[in-house]
Amino acid sequence: MKIMVTGGAGFIGSNFIRHMLTSYPEHSILNLDNLTYAGNLENLKGIESLSHYTFIKGDIADARLLESIEFDAIINFAAESHVDRSILNAYPFLQTNVIGTQCLLEAAKKRKCRILHVSTDEVYGSIEEGLFIETSTVLPNSPYAASKASADLLARAYHETYGLDVSVTRCSNNYGPYQFPEKLIPLVILNAIEGKQIPVYGDGKNVRDWIHVSDHCKAIDLIFHKGKAGTVYNVGARNEVQNIDIIKKILMIMDEKKRHEKRSFTDLIAYVQDRPGHDRRYAIDPTKVETELGWRPEIDFDKGISSTVEWYMENREWWKSILSGEYMDYYKQQYDGRFRE
């Protein structure tokens, strides 16, 4: 089977491609990614030369390009993914997350093939108490969340109208290696290493439900192979943490690793203006994927966060080239125009 993974040069997509190439050497993986600021081929270092892996630089919203590519199934990770950026400019979010997803649904419809669309718990909005289930009302609060919710609704419509074999996954906040340093966890680690302030939005008591990226990847693998068409699966590790607690935990781990220095990293914490429309709490119920498909998260949060801190400490070259912007120049020039016309 030739599986087209979109957005495979990003954080979760690259972790997923590694997982698939190891778990299914019989499948070939095609990575379609247009290398936005968040796409980094360094995330895939070491696998470019594998015979069952191919990279295509291209846009998921390019319907003509999609027609020219051969594949048997699609797993869609490609997206604009950062809430703060969507608040500054929603347009690229609608273009990629809505129009792009619609182009992929259309391409899957033409080929009558399976498509798994990777979505987020943010589509449900904020919940003060209890947990969101798959049939909870979709009430997105940021332009990012609204664009993801729109794509989810299109996926549903393509199933109802055309009988498309599509499943949607809604996962909670991921952490782990190769996450772009605009997101909370890598930002805290890198700012601490560089002695920069750590901005805490509002009172720092917003709650997110955290899952290690490798647990998310395994859930997607399972849902792709065994999930029911036309349905949604929540994916989460029942691991709710307040932002300020996660920040303090990371800084404590870093303090422990640097005992010789007098200054504590916790001095770097700075409360700043809140994010507009900042969702107070995300919490999802993953019972469906657990009982229907037997998925369980495997990575304990304390161990996962500690190994993640270590990964960023040991992979300085990876993030230094992101912070300096070098990663874009080198890789983007290499691929520009090569597959487009």
Which residues ranging from 101 to 160 are in contact with ligand TDX (CB under 6 A)?
120, 122
13 touches which of ligand TDX, ligand NAD, none (CB within 5 to 8 A by kind)?
ligand NAD
Q: Do the beta carbons of residue 209 and residue 172 sit within 8 Å?
A: yes
Q: Which of 6, 86, 147, 243 binds ligand TDX (CB under 6 A)?
A: 243
Among 5, 11, 143, 158, binds ligand NAD (CB under 6 A): 11
What amino acid is encoded at 292 in this protein?
E
Q: Of ligand NAD, ligand TDX, none, which one does residue 201 interact with (CB within 5 to 8 Å by kind)?
A: ligand TDX
Burial class (CB in 10 A: 0-12, 13-18, 19+), 325: exposed
Residue length of the chain: 341
Token representation of residue 262: 């007098």
Among 37, 162, 201, 301, binds ligand TDX (CB under 6 A): 201
- Identify whether 122 is a catalytic site residue: yes
Q: Which is nearer to ligand TDX, 113 or 188 (CB)?
A: 188
- In order of 77, 176, 316, the CA distances from 39 in angstroms are 11, 16, 18
| Single residue of 18, 208, 216, 288 touching ligand TDX by CB under 6 A | 208
Catalytic annotation present for 121: yes
Contacts of 70 (CB under 8 A, 6+ apart): 2
The H-assigned helical ranges of 5-79 are 11-23, 63-68
Compute the least distance from the CB of residue 264 to ligand NAD, in Å: 28
In the complex, which residues of this chain contact ligand TDX (CB under 6 A)?
81-83, 120, 122, 173, 183-184, 187, 199-201, 206, 208, 243, 275
In the complex, which residues of this chain contact ligand NAD (CB under 6 A)?
6-7, 9-13, 33-36, 38-39, 59-61, 77-81, 96, 100, 118, 120, 148, 171, 173-174, 180
